[in-house]
């Protein structure tokens, strides 16, 4: 064996509540923005499939966790649905407590460590109605929600994450039209980003107060930015992309401060959010213990080729263009670039610029449209996914050898799930979910290959 991983390496997969639970209105769950958006605009969702009964983990979690165990996994990340746990009057939904308690107990019984994330794009609608992340009161509501989760489940759960990809609700909800409320307004986006960051620090503060002996972190989609060339213009464009899309949450979560250059940029563009000095103190004093890093593809950047028009709204892309690099390797089933070395580059960046903080690959994966065409005698033969994981793990292994503090690797995702506006278009799971046949689970070839890797702690 050539690629050996450390003992106790975290092998597993990641998921999120809205994408896999289903039971969108069962047992007093309230609506979140996805339930609402689907209700008013179902045509926006691929094949008109909404979040009502996604992958049915809510009903089948025992079977699913047993399958995870049989496939050798030692850890699994899921999220707690805020709109399931906390009712619109602020009280705790005891039926939801039962559900999450059962999930946690079943995982522990099967030797799978629960990693829990608190926010994965799923704002309760009753809070969106008062402005969502734009409203400081919602930050306090999130602080209370996080505290409740620690009190309820913190005796058993020792790995917590405040947010998954915190830049995504900013980018997709306030700078693009992929998440509700789907507006394009840079100033509002900056306020949302600031409040999400503050909410993360407040949750960390609550967690530390309780002294539960676990670790708390954040999960960032740390997409490395690569300039087209070393020209001054391309470097500048790549730097600004990195600053807004990576360093906004990464620097602040790990180092406790918004990057000076970002503050300058925001001031210059007249985008400063409303904030209080004491809040900056909270951010400074409550940094993460642990980092989750989602990596799918690199961000290739070039200097802007055309002037931004006067009537065009300002967005981050007013300052750089995406670069379509000739000859890049592509996942033809999703259209995304595959660049395995990105995993190594981001690891080295964390080692050298972020105090070598412990981190893990919290999502990596390959989406495949029309994956049923790879089915042979009832099983999806996903050799492309094996190749994808293997090549990324090789670079992860090199990073480990060079002193990076890498703790684990989670695939996105365990079983095929629903992916926001893309619904069930792109499949990512180790396990096929047949949405036309009672959501039947069938492990794909890659799940058995991964099981061997886990058993051997390498390949």
Binding residues for ligand BGP, rule: CB under 6 A, are 16, 19, 164-165, 221, 294, 363, 367, 412, 419-420, 422, 426
Percent helix, strand, coil in the chain (nearest 5)?
A: 45, 20, 35
CA distance 82 to 87: 9
DSSP structure class, residue 25: T
Place of tokens 């966790």: 65
Residue whose CB is less far from ligand BGP, 78 or 459: 78
Residue whose CB is less far from ligand BGP, 179 or 300: 179
**Beta carbon of residue 417, minimum distance to ligand BGP (angstroms, whole number):** 8
Residue whose CB is less far from ligand BGP, 122 or 206: 122
Residue whose CB is less far from ligand BGP, 147 or 410: 410
Catalytic residue among 30, 113, 165, 171: 165
Active-site annotation holds for 165: yes
**Beta carbon of residue 423, minimum distance to ligand BGP (angstroms, whole number):** 9
- Of 325, 350, 357, the closest CA to residue 227 belongs to 325
**Beta carbon of residue 410, minimum distance to ligand BGP (angstroms, whole number):** 11
DSSP structure class, residue 360: E
Residue whose CB is less far from ligand BGP, 110 or 422: 422
CA distance 102 to 113: 14
Catalytic residue among 134, 340, 363, 432: 363
| Residue 326, number of CB atoms within 10 A of its CB | 5
CA distance 250 to 350: 10
**Beta carbon of residue 275, minimum distance to ligand BGP (angstroms, whole number):** 27
CA distance 283 to 294: 22
**Beta carbon of residue 422, minimum distance to ligand BGP (angstroms, whole number):** 5
Residue whose CB is less far from ligand BGP, 165 or 279: 165
Radius of gyration for the alpha carbons in the chain, expressed in angstroms and rounded: 21
- Of 382, 381, 340, the closest CA to residue 361 belongs to 340
Active-site annotation holds for 363: yes
CA distance 143 to 359: 24
Chain position whose Cβ is nearest to ligand BGP: 419
| Helix and strand totals (H; E) in the chain | 16, 19
- Of 217, 178, 173, 222, the closest CA to residue 364 belongs to 222
CA distance 171 to 345: 24
Chain centroid offset of residue 43 CA: 25
The residues carrying an active-site annotation are 165, 363
């Amino acid at each position: 064996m050539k690629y050996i991983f450390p003992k106790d390496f975290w092998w597993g997969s990641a998921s999120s509540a809205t994408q896999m639970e289903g039971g969108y209105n069962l047992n007093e769950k309230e609506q979140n923005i996805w339930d609402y958006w689907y209700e008013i605009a179902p045509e926006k969702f691929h094949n008109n499939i909404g979040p009502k009964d996604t992958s049915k983990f809510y009903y089948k979690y025992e079977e699913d966790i047993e399958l995870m165990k049989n496939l050798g996994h030692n850890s699994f990340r899921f999220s707690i649905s805020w709109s399931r746990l906390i009712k619109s009057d602020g009280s705790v939904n005891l039926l939801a407590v039962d559900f999450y308690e059962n999930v946690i107990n079943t995982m522990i019984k099967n030797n799978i460590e629960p990693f829990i994330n608190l926010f994965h794009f799923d704002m309760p609608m009753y809070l969106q109605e008062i402005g969502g992340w734009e409203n400081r009161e919602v930050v306090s509501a999130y602080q209370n929600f996080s505290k409740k989760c620690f009190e309820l489940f913190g005796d058993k759960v020792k790995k917590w994450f405040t947010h998954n990809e915190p830049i995504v609700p900013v980018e997709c909800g306030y700078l693009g039209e992929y998440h509700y409320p789907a507006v394009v307004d840079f100033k509002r986006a900056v306020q949302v980003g600031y409040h999400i960051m503050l909410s993360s620090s407040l949750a960390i503060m609550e967690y530390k107060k309780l002294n539960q002996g676990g670790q708390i972190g954040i999960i960032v989609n740390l997409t490395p930015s690569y300039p087209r060339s070393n020209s001054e213009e391309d470097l500048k464009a790549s730097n600004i992309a990195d600053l807004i899309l990576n360093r906004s949450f990464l620097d602040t979560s790990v180092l406790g401060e918004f990057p000076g250059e970002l503050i300058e940029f925001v001031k210059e563009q007249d985008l400063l959010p409303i904030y209080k000095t004491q809040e900056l103190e909270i951010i400074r004093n409550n940094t993460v213990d642990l980092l989750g890093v989602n990596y799918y593809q690199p961000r290739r950047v070039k200097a802007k080729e055309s002037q931004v028009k006067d009537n065009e709204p300002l967005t981050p892309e007013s300052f750089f263009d995406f670069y379509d690099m000739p000859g890049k390797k592509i996942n033809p089933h999703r259209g995304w670039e595959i660049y395995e070395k990105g995993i190594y580059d981001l690891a080295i960046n964390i080692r050298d610029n972020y105090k070598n903080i412990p981190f893990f690959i919290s999502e990596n994966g390959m989406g495949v449209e029309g994956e049923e065409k790879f089915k042979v005698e009832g099983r999806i033969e996903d050799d492309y996914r094996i190749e994808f994981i293997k090549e990324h793990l090789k670079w992860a292994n090199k990073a480990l050898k060079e002193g990076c503090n890498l703790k684990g690797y989670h695939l996105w995702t365990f079983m095929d799930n629903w992916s926001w506006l893309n619904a069930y278009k792109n499949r990512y799971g180790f396990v096929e979910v047949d949405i036309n046949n009672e959501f039947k689970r069938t492990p794909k070839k890659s799940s058995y290959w991964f099981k061997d890797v886990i058993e051997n702690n390498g390949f």
